[in-house]
Amino acid sequence: MRLILSLIFIGLFFVGSSAVGDMYSNPMLRCSFELPSEWTAQQAAPDILTINADLGDSVEITISVFELDPDSPITSDKALTMAIAGLYNDIGIKSANPDMIEYTVDGGVASFQAEYNRLIEGSEAVIRTGLKGVIGRLTSGDQVLYLIVVMAPSEMFESIRSRTEILMSSFRIDETLAEDFFPRRNLSPYIIMLVVVALTIFFFMRNRRVQKSRNPLGRDSGSFWRCSLCGRVNHMDNETCGRCGNIRAAADKVTKY
């Protein structure tokens, strides 16, 4: 019995380890991932990497990178949801409901996954497609999108599912990422605005209080007179009120206490 259990354990070990590969880094796409054993990677273009699963042309696996428009960055959960929904619509997932879209945000990275079927034009063959998107926000503020796409007939797709999941789950961006995916709002302009408003209110209230005071300047109040028409405090050197133009009368003066 013990021998049978040992053989089963050894068999499971080799079955499980057959899908384990080495970490692969690509300097052109600036990313790395675990490449399952017996799979190879080839640079198809400066921004596209193809993965050969050694299963013929019926299986297609690609990793592509795109630079997002710096003038329209993703700055909120709503913007991220709408961007993913737009991508799904472009690739043929017409039923994508923004309210049902799921994603995760971890530090400076947002990721999402989807699976869908598509029919080959002029044929009844069904192609199963698995997609993972990884969006990274760099320290420069730029955002980049990586798309990992696996396409294969349904039966073959299931046979390589465990390996593609290893590849997708181990995917990393080899660039310095920002601490947060969504840029923090710059509160400095709002703080400055609040300070200006507060100072304006302070000086307005202070000036109003001084104008209404019967002894606004303490010992120096004798050098000023108050207009009997509008109440403004004026210096003795002025014969007319600086506010309403009323001529100073002999009785118009600030009483000292």
Burial of 161 (0-12, 13-18, 19+ CB in 10 A): middle
- CA-based nearest residue to 175, from 136, 148, 146: 136
d(CA 157, CA 155): 5
Question: Is the predicted pLDDT of residue 14 greater than 50, yes or no?
Answer: no
Q: How far, CA to CA in Å, does 163 sit from each of 21, 51, 97, 150?
A: 9, 12, 29, 11
| DSSP count for the chain of H helices, then E strands | 5, 12
Higher per-residue pLDDT: 71 or 201: 71
- CA-based nearest residue to 39, from 53, 58, 55, 56: 53
Question: Is the predicted pLDDT of residue 9 greater than 80, yes or no?
Answer: no
- CA-based nearest residue to 17, from 206, 166, 118, 145: 166
Which pLDDT score, from 0 to 100, does residue 31 have? 96
Task: Please check whether residue 75 is in contact with residue 159, taking contact to mean a CB–CB distance below 8 angstroms.
Answer: no
| Tens of pLDDT, residues 172-197 | 999 999 999 987 665 456 567 777 77
d(CA 243, CA 107): 60
Q: Show the tokens assigned to 106.
A: 């971890």
50-53 — which CB contacts under 8 Å span 24+ positions? 51/167, 53/160, 53/163
Average pLDDT for the chain: 80
> pLDDT above 90 covers what percent of the chain?
44
3-state secondary structure 97-114: CHHHCCCEEECCEEEEEE
| Tens of pLDDT, residues 146-177 | 999 999 998 899 999 999 999 999 999 999 99
Higher per-residue pLDDT: 190 or 225: 225
Q: Which of 18-22, 82-86, 195-199, 215-219 has the lowest mean pLDDT?
A: 215-219
> Chain centroid to CA 55: how far?
38
d(CA 227, CA 213): 13
Burial annotation 195-204 (CB, 10 A radius, 16+ → b, else e): eeeeeeeeee
Q: pLDDT-based confidence at 5, cuts 50/70/90?
A: very low
Q: How far, CA to CA in Å, does 162 sit from each of 72, 116, 121, 127, 149?
A: 36, 17, 28, 18, 15
Q: Tell me the mean pLDDT in the region 122-134.
A: 87
pTM: 0.65
| Tens of pLDDT, residues 236-245 | 778 888 888 8
Which pLDDT score, from 0 to 100, does residue 233 have? 80
